[in-house]
Chains A and B, each alone.
Chain A
Amino acid sequence: MKRINKMALAAIAATALAASAQAQYISGNNDLLLGFTTTASTGDLAIDLGSFSSLPSGVDLNTSGNTGFGSDAALKTALGQNGLSLNSLIWGVVGGNAGNAPASYNIYSTVAHGVAFPHLPAAGIPIAMGDVDTLGLSITSGRSAIVDPTLGNGNSVTEVMHNAGGSALLQTDWTDPTTTTSGTFSSGGTQYAVEDLYYQQKGQVGGTLEGTFTLGSDGSFVYNAVAVPEPATFGLLGGFGLLLLALRRKLIPGQS
């Protein structure tokens, strides 16, 4: 048990190191972008979480190094410094890869938890990825960027992901990837807001649910991948099924 704990810690440390080693947004790398804004923001915060394939599941992405803030408190402080509050906070995650289009391409986007994924037409993914890359390239150093949307530079979270008028690039070209926390999100005990992360690639009808992002009012930010049954689990389930079938035959008259 002690050995397993040490190995787990080492794995988490290695993940954090790999995450923090990456600098700046890489177009065509399936990097995921976390965006924060509010209706009256003058300092939108965009964070490059790194590539989807390197995203650890079930781990706080602050302490893993993926947000670049190191701790939940540091993320909360950063939001506060930019005039953002956890209350009525607009947030969402987008990413993908259009670097090989038109041969192949894909996109990731959050939607409100439990809401159906809005399918994109075939040529819509590279167009939406142009919008995503515009947000990503606003991060010119490190893992995050603060952009004042009132300056009208066109690459803030407000201008790319969500604004009240519905004229953000992604709102116009596809869908709004964000949700908004409640006005009392940070009051009382710790509360959590959840969004679902979907994936869609060229030729795919609808999206694939990949997992969920959970934002805590304590500043925590966790990704949980959709559980995929292990081969051993399949064996157990299969055995359980056979057992049920045998019991059914015993219990129903005329079958033996």
Chain B
Amino acid sequence: MKLNKLAIGALSLGLGLASVQANFIPNQGTQGYTVIHLTGSTAFRGATFRAVCNALGGEAACNVAAYNCSAAAAVPAGYVQEQTAKYHGIYGTLPGCGVVLVKCAWSGSEAGYVDVCTCASQKENFMEDTEPLGDVGSPIIATTAPTLALVSEGAGVNGELDLAMADNSQAYSRSKGLGIGNSYAVGVIPFVYSKNAQISGEGAPWSEVNNITHPQIRNLIKSGYIDAATLTGNSADAGKFFYLAGRNYNSGTRANHLLNAGLAISFAERQITIGGSDGAPTKSATSNANLAGQDSGGTLANTMSYRGSGEASPAWWAIAYLGVPDAVGAQQVNAGGGPVILSLAGVTESTAAIQQGQYSYWGTEYISVSTCANACANTLYNTLTANNTSTAAFDAAITANLEIALGSMACTKTTDASDPVHN
């Protein structure tokens, strides 16, 4: 009886530890596995995470870790928190390959193309193999960063940059013309313009700006700011300025923003970076350096939630371009409601408006595999694209109102720079 009590106590202790720790560290000595490195689009990471998990038998069958996640309160409806992570580790069995550890580092679409097009030399930070994963069915979900290591061991070595997601085609990327293994369109990613949050009762010109047009966007891109009167049509607003806040040149959201405005992705977009905090936002000087602008769409959306720029002296306001999950997430978590989404040329963003070609700020999502990808990475690519014949794997991973299935589109952009036309 005494032994039984001890056994029950030990068992309880063990279960308690398990529920707290739920750690699993891959071990090549115990179970050999192949590492696959996946990078690229931050805007489409939620759908990609789900598609990869599905390819490995579903998230519940995998050991998963998700780091740098958005706060639980900022998770858009339809997502689980791990879909908002910047770094993922997904360990499971890939049919046709065996046990794999898929490491994801979402660095931006343009950075992803650079990675897979220069895979023999390019380096990117991924989670280390020794970073703990959750037990099967119990993912580790953290808002903090994991331990990272640069990965680049050259072609054919278990450590190369294998796969990348992008919100634009390679033909409209800064890696145009460089060698790539394969590429396939798998979905549609919507974007929005927004103005930054202000205190309750904020008046003109902020309250009058609810829409933006393409000429106004070009004005913002080229100057880095626009006179408020040009947005509102009210002469009393002249001499007050809205500044452009955006992403750096690694971003596919930025690439589509430039293309949608009729400009090349090489255009020297001028923009500010918002700093400070809610109630006391600050803005940097405008800059058009390639790496000026936010590295992450989530960070940009969060800074657009900082209220008070309209009360600063001199007052200023900001307009930003965002992925829908980031914009919606920032609206949910911030007391002031977060960034306020603007209509574009009089059209409010919606799945139906995009599907019918009424709303133009969206990108076609691509998955690409590098020329130095390992066999398992190619197997994963072929699984997700059915050997370049189907988008079914991504269709099943898409969340309504955040991403759109390619097959559901009733319009087409002939190229990334084209206007949408009805099919």
> Which A residues have a C-beta under 8 Å from some C-beta of B?
27, 98-102, 123, 126-131, 133-134, 136-138, 151-155, 159, 173
Q: Judging by beta carbons under 8 Å apart, are A102 and B241 in contact?
A: yes
Q: Judging by beta carbons under 8 Å apart, are A131 and B266 in contact?
A: no
Instruction: Report chain B residues within 8 Å CB of A130.
Output: 221-224, 267-270, 288
Q: Judging by beta carbons under 8 Å apart, are B222 and A173 in contact?
A: yes
What is the chain B residue whose CB lies nearest that of A128? B222
Q: Judging by beta carbons under 8 Å apart, are B267 and A134 in contact?
A: yes
Asked whether A100 and B268 contact (CB < 8 A) given A127-B223, A130-B221, the answer is: no
Bound CA span A155–B265, Å:
9
- Can you give 18 contacting A-B residue pairs, CB < 8 Å? A27-B268, A98-B223, A99-B285, A101-B223, A101-B224, A101-B286, A102-B225, A102-B227, A126-B225, A126-B270, A127-B222, A127-B223, A133-B288, A134-B268, A154-B263, A154-B267, A155-B264, A159-B264
Bound CA span A91–B54, Å:
57
How far does the Cβ of A63 sit from chain B's closest Cβ, in whole Å? 31
Which one of B223, B264, B288 lies within 8 Å of A152 (CB-CB)? Answer: B264
Instruction: Report chain A residues within 8 Å CB of B285.
Output: 99-100
* B residues 264-321 touching A (CB-CB < 8 Å): 264-270, 285-290
Q: Judging by beta carbons under 8 Å apart, are B223 and A123 in contact?
A: yes
Instruction: Report chain A residues within 8 Å CB of B263.
Output: 154
B176 sits at the interface (CB 8 A): yes
What are the 7 closest A-B residue pairs judged by CB atoms, nearest first?
A: A154-B264, A130-B222, A126-B223, A133-B268, A155-B266, A134-B268, A127-B222
Asked whether A136 and B241 contact (CB < 8 A) given A123-B223, A130-B223, A130-B288, the answer is: no
Q: Judging by beta carbons under 8 Å apart, are B267 and A98 in contact?
A: no
What is the chain A residue whose CB lies nearest that of B218? A127
Please, what's the 1-or-0 string for B214-231, where 1 marks a CB less than 8 Å from any CB in chain A? Answer: 000001011111010010
What is the chain B residue whose CB lies nearest that of A137? B268
Bound CA span A100–B290, Å:
18
Asked whether A153 and B219 contact (CB < 8 A) given A99-B285, A126-B224, A130-B288, the answer is: no
Instruction: Report chain B residues within 8 Å CB of A138.
Output: 266
Bound CA span A155–B285, Å:
24
Instruction: Report chain A residues within 8 Å CB of B241.
Output: 102
* B residues 226-245 touching A (CB-CB < 8 Å): 227, 230, 241
Bound CA span A173–B267, Å:
14
Instruction: Report chain A residues within 8 Å CB of B176.
Output: 151, 153
Asked whether A131 and B290 contact (CB < 8 A) given A151-B176, A153-B264, A154-B263, the answer is: no
Instruction: Report chain B residues within 8 Å CB of A127.
Output: 219, 222-223
Bound CA span A159–B285, Å:
28
20 additional contacts (CB under 8 A) given A126-B222, A155-B266:
A98-B286, A99-B287, A101-B286, A126-B223, A127-B219, A130-B221, A130-B222, A130-B224, A133-B288, A134-B267, A134-B268, A136-B268, A137-B266, A137-B290, A152-B264, A153-B266, A154-B264, A154-B266, A155-B267, A159-B264
How far does the Cβ of B292 sit from chain A's closest Cβ, in whole Å? 10
Instruction: Report chain A residues within 8 Å CB of B221.
Output: 130
Instruction: Report chain A residues within 8 Å CB of B264.
Output: 152-155, 159
Bound CA span A130–B269, Å:
7
Instruction: Report chain B residues within 8 Å CB of A137.
Output: 266, 268, 288, 290
How far does the Cβ of B240 sit from chain A's closest Cβ, in whole Å? 10
Bound CA span A176–B287, Å:
25
Instruction: Report chain B residues within 8 Å CB of A155.
Output: 264, 266-267
What is the chain B residue whose CB lies nearest that of A134? B268
What is the chain B residue whose CB lies nearest that of A100? B285
Which one of B227, B265, B289 lies within 8 Å of A27 (CB-CB)? Answer: B289
Bound CA span A159–B241, Å:
29
Bound CA span A128–B268, Å:
11
What is the chain A residue whose CB lies nearest that of B222? A130
Bound CA span A27–B286, Å:
11
Instruction: Report chain B residues within 8 Å CB of A152.
Output: 264
How far does the Cβ of A253 sit from chain B's closest Cβ, in whole Å? 62
Bound CA span A123–B267, Å:
19
How far does the Cβ of A236 sit from chain B's closest Cβ, in whole Å? 47
How far does the Cβ of B385 sit from chain A's closest Cβ, in whole Å? 27
Q: Judging by beta carbons under 8 Å apart, are B265 and A99 in contact?
A: no
Bound CA span A131–B288, Å:
11
Bound CA span A127–B268, Å:
11
What is the chain A residue whose CB lies nearest that of B264? A154
Bound CA span A155–B225, Å:
22
